[in-house]
Amino acid sequence: MSDPLDRIEIRDLLLRCIVGINASERKNKQDVLFNIVMWADTRRAAQTDDIDDSVNYRTVTKQIIEHVEASDYFLVERLVEQVARICVRDERVERVRVTLEKPGALRFARSVGVTIERTRTELLVPDGN
């Protein structure tokens, strides 16, 4: 049997933030590009046509924007996991994949990035944050 969960995708979300270990990265905001997949059962929303029965991806995106633009992380690994945590705040989201790219971070490369995939359970384990 195939995965019973549907996919909600946010593609090419371009934001600016402080992230990195080099002096210039700590001082100047830089572009970061997110691609996000959230797995959730969307059948109830399809039946009722009611936003309250749906993962409101506009709300999730606004929360991500607020968090990322105010962030000040050294590692993209930390930032990408925090974005994944935001996605599973909605109890309907069972799993999430988040890709973060830093365009132009490496010479001769279009971008460098990190992709993580986590379940809701993995992300809701308390880590002190």
pLDDT at 101 over 60: yes
DSSP per-residue codes, the chain: -----EEEEEEEEEEEEEE-SSHHHHHS-EEEEEEEEEEE--HHHHHH--GGGS--HHHHHHHHHHHHHH-EES-HHHHHHHHHHHHTTSTTEEEEEEEEEEET-STTSSEEEEEEEEEHHHHTS----
The HSE-up count of residue 66 (CA atoms within 13 Å, CB side) is: 7
Q: Check 27, 29, 62, 102 and give the catalytic one.
A: 102
pLDDT of residue 87: 97
Supply the pTM of this predicted model: 0.90
Highest mean pLDDT among 19-28, 68-77, 98-107, 120-129: 68-77
Q: Is 27 a catalytic residue?
A: no
pLDDT of residue 104: 81
pLDDT at 72 over 90: yes
Average pLDDT over residues 46-61: 96
In words, the CATH class of domain 6-123 is: alpha beta
Domain assignments of the chain as residue spans, ordered by start = 6-123
Which tokens belong to 91? Answer: 């109890």
